[in-house]
Amino acid sequence: MTERKVAMITAAAGAGIGAAISRQLAEDGFAVVITDAHARRSGELATELAEKHGREFLSIPLDVTDFEAVGIVVEEVVKQYGRLDVLVNNAGWNKLEPVAEMSPETWSRCLDVDLNGTFNCMRHALPKMIEHSSGPEGPTAAIVNISSIAAWETSTEHGAAYSAAKAGILALTRVAAAENGKYGIRVNAVAPGLIYNEFLRRIYQDEFFEGYAENRSLVGRVGQPQDVADMVSYLVSEKAGYITGEVFTVSGGVSPHA
């Protein structure tokens, strides 16, 4: 059991957005649960955070596409800590293929990780949040779903499967917010633009990155994982207590959304 608020983050290890969110929420004082498909990386990040903050952090391997496995992990989190206050759905996958050439495997895999994985985690987390809810007048629980500007851009840059999945996340976010506000549970989405990490080099050609900061970003630079982590930090805090059902773009002005 813990008096700290507990935050579970998917795809929380590695060099990208998830790890930045984990580090930021640990800095904010949360008991952070690091879930990731890569057990070794999860354990390494948990050790890093423990050494920095002088307290233990839980890491659990998790494939978000496995509905039953997600349920087991959520149960373990509540068993260990007695509560679950925050869920950040960050797991994502993409492979660029034109619709006319896209394999059913690519389509299914992308929707399974990005959209179904988000649903799986919400489906198991929400009953636990509702069970421990003190209603809209009490402290709020919060879910943040990581979408993308791909959800609304008319572009070939992201691929149709990824765009469809990320658009689905926005609809899922809005409906879940409408259903769960009465329990004091807020549900929002963050839609990043280009947030640089080395993994993107496996997806995009070098030409995609050339001139991006100078010609597309309104702030003259490419996004960093910490930019998204800062937004998530705000959305899960009580400072955002009157915000739910919204999508917040973090794109350096490249593709704002209203």
**SS3 of residue 9 by DSSP:** strand
Residue 85 CA: distances (Å) to CA of 55, 131, 206: 19, 11, 40
State the catalytic residue, choosing from 162, 183, 196, 204: 162
Q: Is 162 among the residues known to form the active site?
A: yes
Distance separating alpha carbons of residues 7 and 86, to the nearest angstrom: 4
3-state helix/strand/coil string of 101-153? HCCHHHHHHHHHHHHHHHHHHHHHHHHHHHHCCCCCCCCCEEEEEECCHHHCC
Exposure string for 156-193, b = 16+ CB within 10 A, e = fewer: eebbbbbbbbbbbbbebbbebbeebeebbbbbbbbbbb
User: What number of CA atoms fall less than 13 Å from residue 232's CA on the CB side?
Assistant: 34
Q: How far is CA 228 from the centre of its chain?
A: 9
Q: Which amino acid is at 236?
A: V
Beta-bridge mates of residue 33: 8, 58
- What positions carry a catalytic annotation? 162
